[in-house]
Amino acid sequence: AAGRWPAAPDMINHMSFNVAVLASHTGTNLQALTTAGQQPASDFNVTLVISNNSGSGALAHAREQGITGIHLSGRTHPDPEALDQTMLAALREDDVDLVVTAGYMKKIGPAVLDAYQDRIINIHPALLPRHGGPGMHGRHVHEAVLASGDTLSGATVHHVTANYDEGPVIAQQQVPVLPGDTPDTLAARVLQAEHQLLPATVQALARAHTD
Ligand code: GRF
Q: What is the DSSP string of 143-185?
A: HHHHHHT-SEEEEEEEE--SSTT-SPEEEEEEEEPPTT--HHH
Domain that holds residue 138: 17-210
- Please check whether residue 103 lies inside any domain of the structure: yes
Ligand 1 within 6 A of CB of 37: no
- Does any ligand 1 atom lie closer than 6 A to the CB of residue 141? no
Protein residue closest via CA to atom 12 of ligand 1: 27
Query: Which helix or strand (DSSP H or E) is residue 187 part of?
Result: helix 183-210
Decide if 131 is catalytic.
Answer: no
From 128, 131, 191, the mutation candidate for ligand 1 (largest count of ligand atoms within 8 A of CB) is 191
Tell me phi and psi for residue 157, to 5 degrees.
Answer: -105, 125
**Per-residue pLDDT band at 10 (split at 50, 70, 90):** very low
How many whole angstroms separate alpha carbon 143 and alpha carbon 194? 18
Cα 142 to middle of ligand 1, angstroms: 12
Residue 14, pLDDT score: 52
Task: Determine the Cα angle at 181 with ends 180 and 184, to 5°.
Answer: 140
For residue 53, pLDDT beyond 70 = yes
pLDDT tens string 145-191: 999 999 999 999 999 999 989 999 999 999 999 999 999 999 999 99
Q: Is residue 7 included in any domain, yes or no?
A: no
Query: Is residue 37 assigned to a domain?
Result: yes
Q: Is residue 159 part of a domain?
A: yes
- Does residue 40 lie in a domain region? yes
Residue 190 lies in a domain: yes
Q: Is there an atom of ligand 1 within 6 Å of 56 CB?
A: no
Query: Any idea which of 4-13, 28-37, 152-161, 200-209 has the lowest mean pLDDT?
Result: 4-13
Beta strand 68-71 with 44-51 is parallel
Instruction: Tell me what the mean pLDDT of segment 108-119 comes to.
Output: 98
The beta strand positions in 63-206, using DSSP E, are 68-71, 98-102, 120-124, 152-159, 169-176
Q: How confident is the model at residue 9 (pLDDT cuts 50, 70, 90)?
A: very low
Q: 71 Cβ partners below 8 Å, 6+ apart? A: 50, 51, 52, 53, 54, 59
Q: Measured from the CB, is residue 125 less than 6 Å from ligand 1?
A: yes
Query: Does residue 194 have its Cβ closer than 6 Å to ligand 1?
Result: yes
CA distance 187 to 181: 9
CATH of residue 155's domain is 3.40.50.170
Q: Which atom of ligand 1 is nearest to the CA of 125?
A: 4
Question: Is 1 a member of any domain?
Answer: no
pLDDT computed for residue 66 by the predictor: 98
User: For the chain, how many structural domains are there in total?
Assistant: 1
Torsion of CA 63, 74, 84, 101, to 10 degrees: 50
Is residue 112 assigned to a domain? yes
Q: Kindly calculate the radius of gyration of the chain based on its CA atoms and give it in whole angstroms.
A: 18
Q: Which of 124, 131, 142, 158 is catalytic?
A: 124
